[in-house]
């Protein structure tokens, strides 16, 4: 019988852990596919949508955006330029250091990001089939995994 328990110091993951990893990979792939489709419906690339979503949380300097998006600052500058041309993002002086510019979502940008989030079918439909207790348990398990990473 195949082991279904894994220990941190075992050299190989057990069958259950492998299945969970495969399922997480499938969820991530389906989420990215849905996210790209939702972004396209708003005439955005996936990178533009991700950057806009980040800026809805807080204004950020280009270097921090690049770190969060795991890309080069020059790429972020081009993405911000395109979003700024559409009125979704604006550059502002950093309140902590007026020599630095931060990118911030405009009210129109926040509305587009909210609409994009609401149009994500994959994130909404499967979760609707779970009870509140199951969603809480899933959230807590995911938080635990991210805290352990």
- The pLDDT value recorded for residue 112 is 97
- The pLDDT value recorded for residue 7 is 58
Residue among 48, 109, 44 nearest 77 (CA): 48
Residue among 35, 71, 33, 63 nearest 50 (CA): 35
Strand order in the sheet with 97-105: 60-61, 97-105, 89-94
Tens digits of residue pLDDT in 73-107: 889 999 999 999 999 999 999 888 888 889 999 99
pTM of the entire predicted model: 0.75
pLDDT in tens, the chain (149 residues): 445 555 566 677 899 999 999 999 998 999 899 999 999 999 999 999 999 999 999 999 999 999 999 999 889 999 999 999 999 999 999 888 888 889 999 999 999 999 999 988 877 788 888 999 999 999 999 899 888 65
């Amino acid at each position: 019988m195949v082991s279904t328990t894994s220990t941190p110091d075992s050299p190989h993951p057990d069958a259950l852990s492998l299945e969970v990893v495969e399922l997480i990979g499938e969820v991530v792939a389906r989420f990215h596919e849905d996210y790209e489709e939702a972004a396209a419906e708003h005439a955005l690339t996936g990178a533009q949508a991700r950057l806009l979503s980040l800026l809805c949380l807080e204004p950020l300097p280009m270097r921090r955006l690049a770190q969060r998006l795991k890309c080069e600052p020059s790429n972020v500058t081009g993405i911000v330029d395109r979003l700024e041309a559409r009125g979704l993002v604006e550059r502002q002086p950093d309140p902590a250091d007026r020599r630095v510019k931060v990118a911030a979502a405009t009210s129109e940008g926040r509305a587009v990001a909210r609409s994009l989030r609401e149009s994500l079918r994959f994130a909404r439909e499967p979760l609707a089939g779970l009870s509140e207790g199951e969603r809480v348990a899933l959230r807590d398990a995911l938080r635990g995994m991210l805290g352990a990473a």
